[in-house]
Chains A and B, each alone.
Chain A
Amino acid sequence: MNSELPPEFIVKVDYDRCRRCRRCVMNCSFGCMTFKDRVVPEHRRCVACQRCVTYCPEYAITVSKNELAYKENENWSPEIRKNILKQAETGGMLLTGMGNPREYPILWDHLLIDACQVTNPSIDPLREPMELRTFLGRKPERLEFSMDEAGEIDLVTEIEPQVRLDVPVVFGAMSYGAVSLNVHRSLAMAASRSGTLMNTGEGGLHRELYPYSGNIIVQVASGRFGVHSEYLNTSAMVEIKIGQGAKPGIGGHLPGEKVGEDISKTRMIPVGTDALSPAPHHDIYSIEDLSQLIFAIKEATDYEKPVSVKISAVHNVAAIASGIVRAGADVVTIDGFRGGTGATPMVIRDNVGIPIELALAAVDERLREEGIRNNASILCAGGIRSSGDVAKAIALGADAAVIGTAALVALGCRICQKCYTGNCAWGIATQKPELVRRLNPQIGADRLTNLLAAWSLELKEILGSLGVNSIESLRGSRERLRGVGLDSQTLELLGVKPAGVGQ
């Protein structure tokens, strides 16, 4: 069938400036640029990944929206009409990448942070110590000490395994397969330099990264790819993946063409076969079953590692999280509906799940009410974009925040949402050697380390202005947040007062 899809973007080449170096032709991984006497763009192939625009030495290329591709109509947006055309042509589900881009409210942008004035002094973080360190894992209800005859005091309470974070931001789960090995290398190096964690996602851990085990969360998902006892033990923490914010209730599917030699080795499946992750874990149909898997992992790791359970933020998230904590999880990771993905049906990404801000507030509240908040740490994922979001998440009750997309943006991602094609021009969501090469892991690690260093400085400024000197003092401190432009029910759910109301 001939496609009737109009091009989404128009690529303009300023031929006066162009010096015919063909760099754009080499750089475009979507086959948009060809050279016939001069550079000729095929508009229809452009995905606006901005690779050519960035790499043209003459800045001769501009990409713009094809404004009148679809005549204006508030109800029938270009997106909706494009999707219908595509489906009429193929009969398939629409596949997409990255997180939900639609105009749902972003509650982070309706929350504001308090600061000290006159009556309680703020602290200058440049001169006074500021503690960003935090520990993930189950905390005891109380501490018991003993004193011997010589007056030496000893801790009697047995402390469950804890993982230390020097900065309350960890990298989110992105599998080797969805992203390239150079992305994993960058994340692992940056995590170890910054004193935080990266997460393997569900595709196993490449042998080359085993030395970074102290900074790695290894994931166990329904497909159990690359999961064996050595893998489980090469980690700081093990995570059971139940759900992902971009695709709650949906399984994963790495197409066979991405399963090359190295991925096959890491996932432990033959080259070229589809890697299908079923929607549920077939050994988990209840909280009791979840508990069984948590303790199977603890047995296999000799009770030395905290076990996290990751779920997507759905309507009943608070009750589910309570069950997870009671099942024995040491960490609960909640992934909001803005969370990214390498590939998911668009209808799921854009219509399923709830905002992380509400999910986080509900979970923290519920665990407190039930008196079990100390039993597990909360990781907040899905839509964290800045240190401001991190601070707000911690004030709403998170122990630390998780960044996936933000980390990829630091590595060069332009959020073109074409991750599922395997053609990522920035060498991130691809396995093609010539594209993977585009991301230098050393430079990648530097960029990620810089990002975390910058956010750390900003977090310290926020803490200073709040007049507290540790991230622990901000945790769950919703009194230090105020809402603007939020209805009373949302404010109540978030547990924050409207701006303008004092104590």
Chain B
Amino acid sequence: MRIDCKGLYYRKQNKMIRDFANDGETEFILDNANGQRYIGGGIEKKIKITVNGVPGNDLAMFMNGPTIIVNANAQDGVANTMNAGEVIVHGSAGDVLGYGMRGGKLYIKGNVGYRTGIHAKEYKKQVPVIIAGGIAGDFCGEYMAGGILVLLGLNRDEGTPIAGDYLGTGMHGGVIYLRGGVDESRIGAEVSVLEPDAKDMKLLKKYLAEFCGHFGFDLEEVMSEPFVKLLPVSSRPYGDLYAY
């Protein structure tokens, strides 16, 4: 079903989506979206939501299953504490993306803001994947406890770093892949830079094929540059701070 979101209050809009989804509707197209918060929030059904326009903060928060496609930029807090599902943003997105995200995929064509993937975690088969085609702000992957975070840094100006300062600071689980290397002065004390092995590349290829499929990038070209991987030095970075 199509919903014209022009001037529509988020509460009403989201209630419509929830109610119709409960009645069996599986496809929603939101036209003229303009800052409505919490789209897809807490929904457990495998519905598909296409957002034409810019959704508001906390898109897909607590989401557990749906697929959301945004045909514009997205704001802060996308995929906050998300459990499962997929969010595909055909643009850039704001700060604190994938906070505490525990599963599902977040694919962003362009750049991402501060604190992307903060405290993402994984549990058994539930491994969150965040890929951004562009560059990231400071504190990317901060406190990461699990999951896969990939920055591609495509189409950036010469000399622009792929991520801001404190990359991976406090990280104690999961993995970050960066296309084309990293300036080691920018990374947090809790991570080390390694070369990806064949297994890593296989994994990357799988997700990047999906990513390129969504946004029309050339997979071979994306894979042509070498990647580096960041891993936490310890799963217990703060284990020896205390006197017992």
A residues in contact (CB < 8 Å) with B: 86-87, 89-95, 222-224, 227-230, 232, 253, 255-256, 264, 268-270, 272-274, 276, 278, 282-283, 292, 295-296, 299-302, 345, 420-421
Contacts and interface: CB of A to CB of B under 8 A. Distances in A.
A341 to B, nearest CB: 14
Nearest to A220: B81
A301 to B, nearest CB: 7
A282 B170 CA distance: 14
B100 interface: yes
A264 B235 contact: no
B243 to A, nearest CB: 4
B73 interface: no
B68 interface: no
Given A89-B243, A228-B83, A229-B83, A283 B236 contact: no
Contacts of B241: 92-93
A74 B235 CA distance: 44
Contact of A90 (B38, B58, B119, B243): B243
B41 A93 contact: no
Contact of B42 (A268, A300, A420): A300
Nearest to A222: B119
A302 B102 CA distance: 22
Given A269-B123, A282-B142, 16 more contacts: A92-B240, A95-B242, A224-B99, A224-B100, A228-B102, A255-B236, A256-B235, A256-B239, A269-B146, A272-B235, A274-B235, A278-B170, A296-B37, A296-B80, A299-B14, A300-B62
B118 A229 contact: no
B99 A283 contact: yes
A288 to B, nearest CB: 10
B170 A276 contact: yes
A295 B37 contact: yes
A278 B238 CA distance: 12
B137 interface: no
Contacts of B239: 255-256, 274
Given A268-B123, A273-B173, A229 B42 contact: yes
B58 A292 contact: yes
Contacts of A345: 242
Interface string B182-207: 00000000000000000000000000
Contacts of A227: 62, 81, 100
B138 interface: no
B54 to A, nearest CB: 16
A292 B115 CA distance: 18
Contact of B243 (A94, A256, A276, A299): A94
Contacts, number: 130
B126 interface: yes
Nearest 10 interchain pairs by C-beta = A300-B42, A224-B100, A92-B243, A90-B243, A268-B123, A229-B42, A95-B242, A299-B41, A299-B38, A228-B83
A438 to B, nearest CB: 22
A2 B62 CA distance: 51
Nearest to A300: B42
Contacts of B11: 299
B236 A229 contact: no
A268 B126 contact: yes
Contacts of B44: 229-230
B135 to A, nearest CB: 20
B6 to A, nearest CB: 21
Contacts of B242: 90, 92-95, 345
Given A253-B238, A256-B235, A282-B96, A270 B243 contact: no
A299 B42 contact: yes
Contact of A95 (B43, B96, B244): B244
A359 B121 CA distance: 36
A207 B170 CA distance: 30
B51 to A, nearest CB: 16
Given A89-B243, A223-B119, A256-B236, A296 B61 contact: yes
Nearest to B57: A292
B42 A232 contact: yes
Nearest to B237: A274
Nearest to A85: B243
B172 interface: yes
Nearest to B139: A282
A302 B18 contact: yes
Nearest to B143: A278
A319 B234 CA distance: 41
B64 interface: yes
Contacts of A272: 235
A298 B122 CA distance: 25
B145 interface: yes
A360 to B, nearest CB: 31
B8 to A, nearest CB: 15
